[in-house]
Structure 1
Amino acid sequence: MAELCRVSPEILVPATNETLELALGSRIELNCTVHWAAAERCEPTPAWTKDGQWLGSESSQDTTWVAQNASEWLLTSILQLNLTHDADFGVFACWVSNATATFTLRRVEAAGHVLAVLAALLVLVLLVLLAGLYVRCRLSMLLWYRNRYGELEMNDGKLYDAYVSHATAPDDRKFVHFIVKPQLENRYGYKLFLDEQTILPNSEPSADLIMNVSRCRRLIVVLSVAYLEQDWCTSGFREGLWRLLELSKKPIFIVFESQYREIAHPAISLLKQHRNAVTLLVWRAGSMTPSSDFWKELCLALPRKVSFQGTMADPQTQLQEDKDPMLILHSSYLDSGGDLHPDGDLGLRGYAFRSPRPPRIGGLGAPLAPAAGTTEDTQLRDSQRPELDVSDLGSRNYGARRDFYCLVTEDI
Structure 2
Amino acid sequence: APSLIKSRSHCSLCAPNLVSATPPTLVSSANLTTECDEFDESKVTEVRVYEGEAAVFRFPLSTSSTVFNNYCANTGFKIDWYKNQSDGHLQQPVLWPRISQEGERLWFHPAEFNDTGQYICTVRNGTFCAKIPVWLNVVQRAREICIAEPAGISTLVKIPLEENRIVTCPDIEDFRHPNRNFSVQWFHNCYPHPNWQGDRGIENDKLVIHVMRENYQGNYTCMVTYKFMGRNMSFTRVVTVEPVSPSGLPKNPDIQTPDELHVFTLACTVFLPYLSEEQSEPQVWWEIDGHKVNLHGDTRITSIVLMIALGDRTIETTLQIQSFNSQDLKRKYTCNAANSRGNVSRKAVIQYEGHPPHIELGCGLGIPLFLVVVLFGLYHLYWLELLLLYRSCFRSNEVLDGKDYDVYISYARNSEEEQFVLLTLRRVLENELGYRVCIFDRDSLPGGTITDETLSFVSRSRRIIVVLSPLYVLRGTQALLELKAGLDSMAQAGDLRVILVQYQPICRSSWAQELRRARVALTLIQWKGEKSADLSSRFWKQLQVELPVRRIKDSVNSSELPLCSKHKYIHT
| TM-score, with structure 2 as normaliser | 0.41
Residue of structure 1 aligned with 2:377, choices 129, 132, 137: 132
The aligned residue for residue 30 of structure 1 is 267
The aligned residue for residue 333 of structure 1 is none
Distance 1:83 1:254, change over 3 A: farther
Kindly provide the CA deviation profile for residues 266-292 of structure 1, in whole angstroms up to 9, marking residues without a partner as x: 5665334313xxx53222353222022
| Aligned 8 A contact 1:82 1:88 in 2 | no
Say which SS state the counterpart of residue 304 (structure 1) adopts: coil
Alpha-carbon distance between aligned partners in 1 of 2:352 and 2:540, rounded to the nearest angstrom? 65
The aligned residue for residue 526 of structure 2 is 282
Alpha-carbon distance between aligned partners in 2 of 1:183 and 1:223, rounded to the nearest angstrom? 19
Distance 1:48 1:194, change over 3 A: same
The structural deviation recorded for 1:234 is 12
Kindly provide the CA deviation profile for residues 190-240 of structure 1, in whole angstroms up to 9, marking residues without a partner as x: 23233479xxxxxxx822322333443321110112212345799999977
Say which SS state the counterpart of residue 536 (structure 2) adopts: coil
| TM-score, with structure 1 as normaliser | 0.54
Code of the aligned partner of 1:162: V
The aligned residue for residue 78 of structure 1 is 318
Code of the aligned partner of 1:280: L
Larger radius of gyration: 2
Alpha-carbon distance between aligned partners in 2 of 1:128 and 1:65, rounded to the nearest angstrom? 55
Q: What aligned pairs does 1:387-402 form with structure 2 within 5 A after superposition?
A: 398=560
Alpha-carbon distance between aligned partners in 2 of 1:81 and 1:264, rounded to the nearest angstrom? 88
Alpha-carbon distance between aligned partners in 1 of 2:358 and 2:408, rounded to the nearest angstrom? 63
Q: Which runs of 5+ in 1 are unaligned?
A: 1-24, 198-204, 316-343, 345-397, 406-412
Q: What aligned pairs does 1:345-364 form with structure 2 within 5 A after superposition?
A: none
Distance 1:109 1:400, change over 3 A: farther
Q: Which runs of 5+ in 2 are unaligned?
A: 1-261, 443-449
The aligned residue for residue 216 of structure 2 is none
Distance 1:163 1:119, change over 3 A: same
Residue of structure 1 aligned with 2:301, choices 57, 60, 65: 60
The structural deviation recorded for 1:136 is 3.8
The structural deviation recorded for 1:162 is 1.9
Say which SS state the counterpart of residue 332 (structure 2) adopts: strand
Q: What aligned pairs does 1:143-222 form with structure 2 within 5 A after superposition?
A: 143-148=388-393, 149-154=395-400, 156=402, 158=404, 160-195=405-440, 206-222=451-467
| Aligned 8 A contact 2:408 2:461 in 1 | yes
Alpha-carbon distance between aligned partners in 2 of 1:73 and 1:211, rounded to the nearest angstrom? 97
Alpha-carbon distance between aligned partners in 1 of 2:275 and 2:475, rounded to the nearest angstrom? 109
Alpha-carbon distance between aligned partners in 1 of 2:307 and 2:469, rounded to the nearest angstrom? 99
| Aligned 8 A contact 1:161 1:190 in 2 | yes
| Aligned 8 A contact 1:166 1:196 in 2 | no
Distance 1:76 1:211, change over 3 A: closer
Task: Count how many residue pairs are aligned between Structure 1 and Structure 2.
Answer: 285
Distance 1:119 1:266, change over 3 A: farther
Q: What aligned pairs does 1:195-274 form with structure 2 within 5 A after superposition?
A: 195=440, 206-231=451-476, 242-243=487-488, 245=490, 249-256=496-503, 259=505, 263-265=508-510, 270-274=517-521
| Aligned 8 A contact 2:289 2:333 in 1 | yes
| Aligned 8 A contact 1:50 1:93 in 2 | yes
Say which SS state the counterpart of residue 251 (structure 1) adopts: strand
Residue of structure 2 aligned with 1:307, choices 533, 549, 552: 552
The structural deviation recorded for 1:123 is 0.9
Higher strand proportion (structure 1 or 2) = 2
The structural deviation recorded for 1:77 is 2.2
Distance 1:175 1:263, change over 3 A: farther
| Aligned 8 A contact 1:48 1:95 in 2 | yes
